[in-house]
């Protein structure tokens, strides 16, 4: 009997070890509800080890005494240009003034948008090269002071011109009522009331694979802050007119211009002008998209 009890004890201990190795431990109450719980899915790419989960006790390692600090005298160190005043991704009225001043010097060939993107950065680099400044594409104090010294304060028309693209003749359907008259030929949107242009702005359309539909529509609904449920991209000041297609502001259009395209919507690159238009347009107003 003693030999049998000893064997049984070894069997029980072995079974417990296997259970622990498989992660099949019971919960604190001893009910065993954790035994069949699947592990949480890992977001790590196949073939890579999952990252360790940090705890509240985790602390950043202290810097090693042997770590090499960058040398101020290093010949490869980029020259310091001071704290950036304006940089990629900024969107404000100072950027609009920057673009207007660059346009006075023919370094910026479009209407100011107030958005600092790749085209603005390229224009800043050209100006910096002309003035012998480090070509960073970022506006620091030195660049801004140089620009102020060779330009004048922009007028209201320079800051917010009617449009960069020239308006073409309105479609006949735009001549009555309240209409968003959108031309694919001139790539413009004209807000018209009873045949008169109230405001206008540049626009961009869908690609060949996702074209913007043409025809006579109406504003179905509006959303000041909206994110696409399909593409998960922001669509501020959206005015929907045709089964998910809308007029809306596009930061990508503001940054890259016609180098890109929408997924069918009518993109506007001037947020300030579109914001004012959004407040004027009502649900039910006409939308005409034409060549």
DSSP string covering 3-18: HHHHHHHHHHHHHHHH
Average pLDDT value for residue range 154-165:
84
Q: Would 100 be classed as within a structural domain?
A: yes
Residues 207 and 115 in one domain: no
Give the domain-ending residue among 114, 137, 159.
159
Residues 196 and 149 in one domain: no
- Whether 284 has a pLDDT exceeding 50, the answer reads yes
Pairwise CA distance, residues 237 & 241, whole Å: 13
Residues 273 and 217 in one domain: yes
Q: What pLDDT is attached to residue 162?
A: 66
Residues 168, 158: contact at Cβ < 8 Å? no
166-198 burial, b at 16+ Cβ within 10 Å, e below that, comes to: eebebbeebeeebbbbbbbebbbbbbbeeeebe
Average pLDDT value for residue range 199-227:
95
pTM of the model as a whole: 0.57
Residues 180 and 280 in one domain: yes
- Look at the chain and report how many structural domains it folds into: 2
Query: pLDDT of 78-115, one tens digit each?
Result: 344 468 999 998 989 999 999 999 999 999 988 888 88
Q: What residues have CB less than 8 Å from 253, skipping those under 6 apart?
A: 204, 260, 262, 267, 268, 269
Closest CA to 160 of 96, 95, 223, 78: 96
Alpha carbons within 13 angstroms on the beta-carbon side of residue 187 total: 14
Three-state DSSP at 291 gives coil
Residues spanned by the domain of 97: 93-159
- Per-residue pLDDT band for 45 (boundaries 50, 70, 90) equals very low
């Amino acid at each position: 009997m003693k030999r049998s009890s000893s064997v049984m004890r070894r069997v029980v201990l072995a079974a417990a070890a296997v259970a622990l190795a498989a992660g099949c431990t019971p919960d604190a109450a001893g009910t065993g509800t954790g035994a069949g719980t699947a592990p949480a899915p890992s977001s790590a790419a196949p073939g890579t080890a999952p990252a360790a989960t940090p705890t509240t006790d985790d602390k950043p390692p202290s810097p090693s005494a042997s770590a090499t600090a960058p040398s101020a005298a290093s010949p490869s160190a980029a020259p310091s240009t001071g704290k950036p005043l304006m940089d990629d991704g900024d969107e404000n009225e100072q950027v609009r003034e920057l673009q207007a001043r660059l346009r006075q010097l023919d370094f910026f060939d479009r209407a100011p948008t107030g958005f600092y993107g790749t085209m603005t950065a390229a224009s800043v680099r050209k100006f910096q090269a002309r003035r012998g400044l480090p070509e960073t594409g970022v506006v620091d104090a030195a660049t801004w002071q140089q620009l102020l010294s060779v330009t004048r304060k922009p007028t209201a028309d320079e800051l917010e011109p009617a449009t960069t693209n020239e308006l073409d003749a309105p479609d006949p359907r735009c001549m009555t009522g309240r209409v968003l008259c959108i031309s694919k030929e001139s790539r413009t949107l004209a807000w018209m009331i009873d045949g008169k242009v109230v405001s206008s702005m540049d626009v961009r359309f869908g690609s060949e694979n996702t074209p913007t539909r043409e025809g006579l529509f109406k504003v179905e609904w509006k959303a000041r802050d909206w994110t696409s449920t399909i593409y998960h991209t922001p669509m501020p000041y959206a005015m929907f007119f045709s089964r998910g297609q809308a007029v809306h502001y596009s930061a990508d259009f503001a940054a890259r211009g016609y180098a890109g395209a929408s997924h069918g919507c009518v993109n506007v690159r001037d947020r300030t002008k579109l914001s004012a238009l959004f407040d004027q347009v009502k649900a039910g107003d006409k939308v005409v998209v034409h060549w």
